[in-house]
Amino acid sequence: MSTTVKVTAAEVNKLRQATGAGMMDCKKALVEAEGDFDKAIEVLRKKGQKVAEKRADRESSEGAAVAKINADETAGVAIVLGCETDFVGKNESFVALANDLAELALNYDSKEAFLEADFGGMTVADKLTEQTGVIGEKLDITAFEKLEAPYVGAYVHINKIAALVGLSAKVDKADVLVKDVAMQVASMGATTLSYKDFDPAFVASETEARIAEIKKENEELARLGKTLKNVPQYISMSQITPEVLAEAEEAAKAELKAEGKPEQIWDRILPGKMDRFLSDNTTLDKEKALLDQKFIKDEKKNVADYVASYGDVEITSFKRVTVG
């Protein structure tokens, strides 16, 4: 094999177009094949392209999460460009590639359409294959989310979590509102907008599981002589009917009577007890429903209260993608 064969840029580009392999891989293959195009393809199959095939079943558990918003701030996309190691995921050129891909992804509504889109003369899917051969790690789009609304904003946390939030209108300081809520989405991992969106079967199953878990924990706490946890009857506001509230209020009054509290001061005490009842029996909402979560910048209010402080505007939807 000659190591002094000169190959032209046109030849390298032709091989690259034909195989989807990296530019340097194509050049090295042509040199090794002494300029023979067909032999160069075989070289790539044994080397660069073989690397891609071998890594097809590997997990892209690291990577970079990025988000992009269009020029008129009415659409956003969040993607994760996955790789195998954190070392590659933090590489500047890798993150730059993720950002370039996200810019392109703004034009597409699905991951499938995006992967077939043109990216520098090849499809996005082929670009990922090419870079798999170049880098030596499996690259993949492991998450793709698109969101459209009258006003859209985003927040990205150290390229590990990206969140999109849509507003019903572009109100005054909408940029602050949408960033704060997107940060909430990224940090607290809500799965739905409101408790009203929960499936009843999911709530019922989750209630049973959570009560069983607390009872089991209480067995151990009792054994250790420690204070037992309160076992709730419910876990979501979706379960709190007017009848349930009436029963809870009667139970609270009975408790005050048993404690010997004068009836004339009950009105001052009951609101606090009812607030505590709701707090103890809506744990699912506070964990999974965005609007019902405590606002991370001011835990005296929930997210719904914070949004309401901006006037006539609502959160229409949100999306969240994470690395790994």
CA-to-CA dists, residue 78 to 174, 181, 227, 242, angstroms:
20, 16, 45, 41
Tell me if domain 9-46 and domain 62-189 are identical in fold.
Answer: no
pLDDT band at 18 (very low <50, low <70, confident <90, very high): low
- pTM to 2 decimals? 0.75
Token match 């209630």: residue? 207
- As a whole number of angstroms, the distance between CA 14 and CA 36 comes to 12
* pLDDT of 156 over the 90 cut: yes
Instruction: Note the pLDDT tens digit of each residue in 177-192.
Output: 999 999 999 999 999 9
Token match 């151990």: residue? 220
| Coil/strand/helix, residue 68 | strand
The percent helix, strand, coil of the chain (3-state, each to 5) is: 55, 20, 30
The CATH label, of 2.60.40.2550, 3.20.20.70, 3.30.479.20, 3.60.21.10, for the domain at 62-189 is: 3.30.479.20
For residue 270, give the amino acid letter: L
Using left for φ > 0, alpha for ψ between -120 and 50, and beta otherwise, residue 226 falls in beta
- As a whole number of angstroms, the distance between CA 291 and CA 184 comes to 10
Q: Any alpha helices (H) in 136-260, and if so which ranges?
A: 174-188, 200-223, 242-258
Neighbouring residues of 14: CB distance < 8 A, sequence distance ≥ 6? 37
Q: Where are the domains of the chain?
A: 9-46, 62-189, 241-280
Average pLDDT over the chain, rounded to whole?
A: 90
The CATH label, of 3.40.640.10, 3.90.950.10, 1.10.8.10, 1.10.490.10, for the domain at 9-46 is: 1.10.8.10
* pLDDT of 1 over the 50 cut: no
Instruction: Note the pLDDT tens digit of each residue in 99-152.
Output: 999 999 999 999 999 999 999 999 999 999 889 888 888 899 999 999 999 999
Q: Do the beta carbons of residue 70 and residue 96 sit within 8 Å?
A: no
Instruction: Note the pLDDT tens digit of each residue in 259-313.
Output: 999 999 999 999 999 999 999 999 999 999 999 999 999 989 999 999 999 999 9
For residue 135, give the amino acid letter: I
| pLDDT of amino acid 2 | 43
* pLDDT of 208 over the 70 cut: yes
* pLDDT of 55 over the 60 cut: no
Instruction: Note the pLDDT tens digit of each residue in 227-239.
Output: 998 888 999 999 9
Neighbouring residues of 217: CB distance < 8 A, sequence distance ≥ 6? 229
Q: Do the beta carbons of residue 224 and residue 310 sit within 8 Å?
A: no
Instruction: Note the pLDDT tens digit of each residue in 87-105.
Output: 999 999 999 999 999 999 9
